[in-house]
Each structure stands twice: as structure tokens, then as C-alpha cells.
């Protein structure tokens, strides 16, 4: 299969490395200097250092060159760049099925990725889908076992593409619940920031487990309100992704929480990370959607108060701990 991986960040580079074993891959970055650097050294030093890119992997900063003759475009840019990338594909006049791997809500519109795709790339529908699940780029690049979910409204499309991408070390499961897969991948980043704060304060494993479990309730309530399926939130793109990012130190959103607990400013944290932490930009959209649907989101509210209102991390967590007692499932 000929695949264009659009976005040469850590995740795009890791997928390109993994898929190169069985497919013809072109990796696109919109930055010409970045493309030259990667092609020269065969390492993406900026985002995935230490992992050599196969010689068969083509690098380009020319979108038409990346898309020419491919069977599939895999968009792996941050959610903030999804609409721009789709518009560039449309401008290229090359029609190709697309899958996206970005997680979050578009900050200005609070729209999920599939809604952005529907607005900008409707000609190709329904031959599109979302790829998500518990996955650190570093481990995928190493060839360690990973399981993901590919969701599309067209079951035949997702089945065909999943069978092409599937391998013993990169297992791809299918779903038709696009909304559920996207909301699980988006909201878990907010909960992960809270888990990082809890660990950074030193509240221990018991508190982390409670926070993850209650966070899953928030994900499920809002996800169901948006039209997702309960089964999805109990699977890879829901609880699986939440557990990984809330407990694994490779998670950028977890690192944000740990550093907030340490008293660092959000500005300094983001500069230190050097990578996008989607939960920071997603939290406000999640809270707004919860309010619009009259869904209680206390953990998200606490994270937003820390990120955007200047409330000290410990104070916000204490508010959570002192909420009124109630039944567990509601």
C-alpha cells in the first residue's frame, strides 16, 4: 500500500517507521528545512531522536509530491493544524481517502476532528476514519506491541484499511463509533493532566486510581452526550488510552500535570516540553461542551481553573476532595 503520512512530529514519524516495513511510505512536513534535516540525517532529531528512519522512507515538504499516486493519507498533525492540512489537500486537487490521528477538539469551534473533515473534505466521505488508542510514539518506533482502533462510519472501508495496516506488533481493531473514539482520545488528555497533578503533589496510588476511575465517568458521560457508544469507552480508545497516558511518564499531558504541581507556570511548562500537549488546549472546549449539555465535569473544571484561572494546583485538588458525598454511578 502507498501511504502519505502528513505530519512529521513524533507520532507521524513513529507510524512512518512502523508502517515502512510493509508499505511504501512518504513522510511530509510543511517545513522545508525540517524535511532537509530529516532526509540528511535519517533521524527526526526535533521530535523523535534516536530512531533511524528506513532508507525506503521518502521525506518531502511538497504536499503534491507526498500525495501523488498514494492509496491513503494518514494525517498526524496536532488538531490545531487539521483544518489547514485538509484545505491544502483540497487545493492540491488530489482526491485520496484520509485517516487522522490527531486528538482533541478544535479550540475555536469546539468541534471534533470528523466534523472538521466533514466541513473541509466532504467530497471523499465516507472513505475516511480516525486512528486512536493507547500508544506512545517512542514505543511504536521501537517496534514494541501496540493496539489501536480504526473507526469509520463505513465498515467496509475500516475493515479493508485495518487489514492492510495490521501487523503482529501494530494490531488494528475496527469500529464504526467515530464520535466515541474521538471523544475518548480527546477528554483523556484533560484527565491525565489531573492525574499528573495528583502524583506531583504526592497523593499516592490510591488517589490516582480514584481519579482515573472518576475521570472515566466524565469521559463516558460527555461521550454518550455527544453520541458515542458505552462499549467504546470501555475499550482501547477509552479506558485503555486513559490508563496509559495517566500512568506512563512518556505522556506529555502527564508531564504538564507533574510540573504544575511543582509550581511551574504554564508558559514555562510548554516551552520546556517543546511538543504539543493537547489536554491544555482541549480542557476549555471539554468544559464548555459539558456545560452546554448540562453534564457535570468536576475534574475538567478543576483542570481548567488551574490552567486558565491561575488557581494553585493543590487548592484545586482540595476542592475536588471536599466535594459532597454521593452515589458512585450516576
Q: Which of 95, 111, 188, 326 is catalytic?
A: 188
Q: To which residue does cell 506531583 refer?
A: 200
CA 38/CA 25 separation, integer angstroms: 15
Contacts of 145 (CB under 8 A, 6+ apart): 168, 169, 171
Contacts of 73 (CB under 8 A, 6+ apart): 3, 4, 6, 67, 89, 96, 97, 98, 99
Q: To which residue does cell 524535511 refer?
A: 35
CA 237/CA 229 separation, integer angstroms: 11
CA 109/CA 93 separation, integer angstroms: 26
CA 278/CA 21 separation, integer angstroms: 29
In terms of Cα–Cα distance, which of 297, 328, 303 is closest to 315?
303
Local structure of 329: helix, strand or coil = coil
Radius of gyration over every alpha carbon of the chain, rounded to an integer in angstroms: 19
User: Which grid coordinates are listed for 113?
Assistant: 476532528
H or E element at residue 98? strand 98-100
Q: Report H helices in 230-325.
A: 230-233, 241-247, 252-261, 266-273, 278-292, 298-309, 313-321
Active site residue 160: no
Active site members: 188
Amino acid at each position: 500500500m502507498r501511504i502519505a503520512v502528513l505530519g512529521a512530529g513524533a507520532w507521524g514519524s513513529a507510524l512512518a517507521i512502523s508502517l515502512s516495513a510493509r508499505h511504501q511510505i512518504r513522510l511530509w512536513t510543511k517545513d522545508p528545512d525540517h524535511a532537509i534535516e530529516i532526509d540528511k540525517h535519517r533521524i527526526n532529531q526535533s521530535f523523535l531522536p534516536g530512531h533511524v528512519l528506513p532508507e525506503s522512507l521518502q521525506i518531502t515538504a511538497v504536499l503534491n509530491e507526498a500525495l501523488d499516486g498514494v492509496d491513503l493519507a494518514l494525517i498526524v498533525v496536532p488538531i490545531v493544524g487539521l483544518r489547514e492540512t485538509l484545505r491544502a489537500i483540497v487545493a492540491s486537487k488530489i482526491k485520496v481517502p484520509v485517516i487522522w490521528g490527531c486528538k482533541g477538539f478544535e479550540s475555536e469551534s469546539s468541534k471534533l476532528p470528523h466534523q472538521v473533515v466533514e466541513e473541509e473534505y466532504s467530497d471523499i466521505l465516507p472513505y475516511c476514519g480516525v486512528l486512536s488508542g493507547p500508544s506512545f510514539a517512542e514505543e511504536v518506533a521501537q517496534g514494541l506491541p501496540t493496539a489501536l482502533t480504526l473507526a469509520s462510519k463505513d465498515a467496509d472501508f475500516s475493515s479493508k484499511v485495518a487489514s492492510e495496516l495490521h501487523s503482529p506488533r501494530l494490531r488494528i481493531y475496527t469500529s464504526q463509533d467515530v464520535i466515541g473514539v474521538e471523544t475518548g482520545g480527546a477528554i483523556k488528555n484533560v484527565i491525565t493532566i489531573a492525574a499528573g497533578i495528583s502524583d506531583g503533589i504526592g497523593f499516592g496510588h490510591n488517589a490516582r486510581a480514584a481519579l482515573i476511575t472518576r475521570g472515566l465517568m466524565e469521559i463516558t458521560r460527555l461521550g454518550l452526550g455527544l453520541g458515542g457508544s458505552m462499549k467504546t469507552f470501555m475499550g482501547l480508545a477509552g479506558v485503555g488510552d486513559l490508563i496509559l497516558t495517566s500512568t506512563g511518564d512518556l505522556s506529555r499531558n502527564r508531564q504538564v500535570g507533574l510540573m504544575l504541581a511543582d509550581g511551574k507556570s504554564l508558559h514555562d511548562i510548554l516551552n520546556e516540553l517543546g511538543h504539543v500537549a493537547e489536554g491544555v488546549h482541549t480542557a476549555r472546549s471539554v468544559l464548555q461542551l459539558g456545560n452546554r449539555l448540562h453534564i457535570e465535569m468536576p475534574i475538567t473544571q478543576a483542570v481548567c481553573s488551574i490552567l486558565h484561572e491561575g488557581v494553585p494546583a493543590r487548592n484545586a485538588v482540595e476542592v475536588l476532595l471536599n466535594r459532597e458525598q454521593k452515589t458512585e454511578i450516576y
